[in-house]
Amino acid sequence: MDRSSLFQLIQEQLDPDNTGFIAVENFTSLVEHHELQLDPSKLDMLFALVQSNEDGQVCYQELIELMNSKRSSSFRRAIANGRRTLQREILLDETGLGVYKRFVRYVAYEILPCETDRRWYFHQNSLCPPPVFMAIITIIQIIVFMCYGIMLNKWVLQTYQPDFMKSSLVYHPRHRLQVWRFFSYMFMHVGLEQLGFNALLQLMIGVPLEMVHGILRISLLYMAGVVAGSLTVSITDMRAPVVGGSGGVYALCSAHLANVVMNWAGMRCPYKLLRMILALVCMSSEVGRAVWLRFSPPLPSSGPQPSFMAHLAGAVVGISMGLLILRSYEESLQKQCSWWVILFSFITFLLFAIFWNIFAYELLGVQLPPAP
C-alpha cells in the first residue's frame, strides 16, 4: 500500500462523514496493522500523536502533515508537555551505524534534550543545506589573520602594531560612522590565542547548533551577538576599539550552556557537568584576559586597547534571544509572543545605540584617541 492509498483508506473508511477527525481506537488499529513501510521516527510520531490526544479523536490534517515530514503545532505542544510515550528503544542503543550517522546521533544528544526530538532529528537529518555558515566565518577569520600575520611578521598582540589598527575592518570610535566596522571587526583578532579560542568554540559548538537549528537561526544569533558587542562598546567604553568575533562566539556558547541548564534532566551528553565547568572556566579566563589587556597592557601603547564589553554583550544576547531560539526546535518563532518581546527589545537597543553614536559623543565631550 502506497502513501496515497493509505490516505484514501483513512478518509473513506475511518472518516466516512468527512468530519476531518478519526476515532482514536480506529486510528490506533490502522497504525498497528498498516502495510505501509514507515521509517522508525514517523511510526513513533504516529503512536505519540494518538497517545497525546485527550479528546478521543485524531485530526486528519495532522496525520497528513506528519506523513509529509511536518509536525503539527498541537503535536509539538504534546511533545513539550511530555504527553507521549516512545515505542522503540532509545536512539543511543541503535547499532551498525556509519561514521556520519554516529556523528549525527552525537549531535542529537549534544543539542536536544528530548528523546522524541532526537529521534526525529536523527531520521530527518540531511546535508541539504550543509552547515556552512560557521565554517565559512572561521575560514575567513583564519585567512585574514594569516594575511596580517605575514604582512606584519607578528602573531601575538597584533593590536600593538599601528598598521594592524589602521585596517578598515577594525572598529574604532573615530571611524564609527563607517557602519560596516560594527560587523567587520569580527574578522580581526588580537593574536593567535584569541583566534584559536574563538575558532575552536565556533566549530565545536556552532557547527552542531547549525546542524540542528539551521543556518538562518544560528547566523541570526551569531550576527546579533557581533552587532550587540560593538554597539555595547560604543556606549559603555566609548574610547576603546574592538576586534575579534567574541561577541558572536559568546552568544552561541551562552545560549547552548543556558539550554543545557534549563533542560538538565533531559540532556544526555556525556560528562555534562564537567564540560559545563570547563566551558565556564575557559570563557571566564578569556574575559579576564581581555580585561587585563584593556586596563593593564603589557607593552606601551599609543591608545586604548580593545574592549572586553563585546564578550558580555554576546553572553546577554545568547541567554535572551539564543535560549529561545534553541528551545524552539521545529517550532515557528513568529508564533511565540516571547520572541516578539525579545526582538522588540533588541530593535529598541539598536535604535538607542544608533542615536547614541550620532549625538552622545559630542554632547558628552568625549576625548577620543587619535585615529590610527
Q: What are 19-39's pLDDT values in tens digits?
A: 666 777 766 676 666 655 556
Q: What is the Cα–Cα distance from 236 to 309, expressed in whole angstroms?
A: 8
Lowest-pLDDT choice from 43-52, 99-108, 280-289: 43-52
Residue with C-alpha cell 583566534?
195
Query: What is the pLDDT at residue 50?
Result: 64
Query: What is the pLDDT at residue 80?
Result: 47
Catalytic residue among 167, 307, 311, 328: 311
**What is the percentage of the chain residues whose pLDDT exceeds 70?**
75
DSSP letter at 305 equals P
Please give the grid coordinates belonging to residue 124.
Answer: 530527518
Report the run of H or E that residue 199 belongs to, with start and end.
helix 192-201
Q: Angle at the Cα of 126 (from 322 to 321), degrees rounded to 5?
A: 5
For residue 328, pLDDT over 90 is answered with: no
- ω before 113 within 30° of 0 (cis)? no
**Where do the structural domains in the chain lie, given as residue ranges?**
3-87, 132-364
Q: What is the Cα–Cα distance from 271 to 312, expressed in whole angstroms?
A: 26
Architecture of the 132-364 domain: Up-down Bundle (1.20)
Query: pTM score, two decimals?
Result: 0.81
The runs of H, that is alpha helices, within 68-180 are 73-81, 99-111, 115-124, 133-152, 162-165
Q: Is 307 a catalytic residue?
A: no
Q: What is the Cα–Cα distance from 145 to 190, expressed in whole angstroms?
A: 9
Q: Is 246 a catalytic residue?
A: yes
| Contact indicator for 324, 339 with CB cutoff of 8 Å | yes
Catalytic residue among 246, 254, 307, 320: 246
Q: What is the Cα–Cα distance from 299 to 246, expressed in whole angstroms?
A: 23
| Contact indicator for 121, 212 with CB cutoff of 8 Å | yes
pLDDT tier at 84, thresholds 50, 70, 90: very low
Q: Is 287 exposed, middle or buried (0-12, 13-18, 19+ CB in 10 A)?
A: middle
DSSP letter at 39 equals -
| Contact indicator for 246, 229 with CB cutoff of 8 Å | yes
For β-strands 57-59 and 21-23, DSSP reports them as antiparallel
Strand partners, 22: 58
Q: What is the Cα–Cα distance from 110 to 107, expressed in whole angstroms?
A: 5
Average pLDDT over residues 256-280: 85
Which residue from 262, 290, 295, 296 is spatially nearest to 276, judged by alpha carbons? 262
Q: What is the Cα–Cα distance from 60 to 77, expressed in whole angstroms?
A: 17
| Contact indicator for 177, 234 with CB cutoff of 8 Å | no
User: In sequence order, what are the residues at sequence separation of 6 or more whose Cβ sits closer than 8 angstroms to the Cβ of residue 250?
Assistant: 225, 283, 310, 311, 312, 314, 315, 318
User: In sequence order, what are the residues at sequence separation of 6 or more whose Cβ sits closer than 8 angstroms to the Cβ of residue 73?
Assistant: 331, 335
| The domain defined by 3-87 carries CATH number 1.10.238 | yes
Average pLDDT over residues 254-266: 88
Average pLDDT over residues 327-348: 88
Taking the CA atoms of the chain, what radius of gyration do you get in angstroms? 25
Q: What is the Cα–Cα distance from 225 to 349, expressed in whole angstroms?
A: 13
Alpha carbon 222 to its chain's center? 7
The residue type at 202: Q
Lowest-pLDDT choice from 29-33, 109-113, 242-246: 29-33
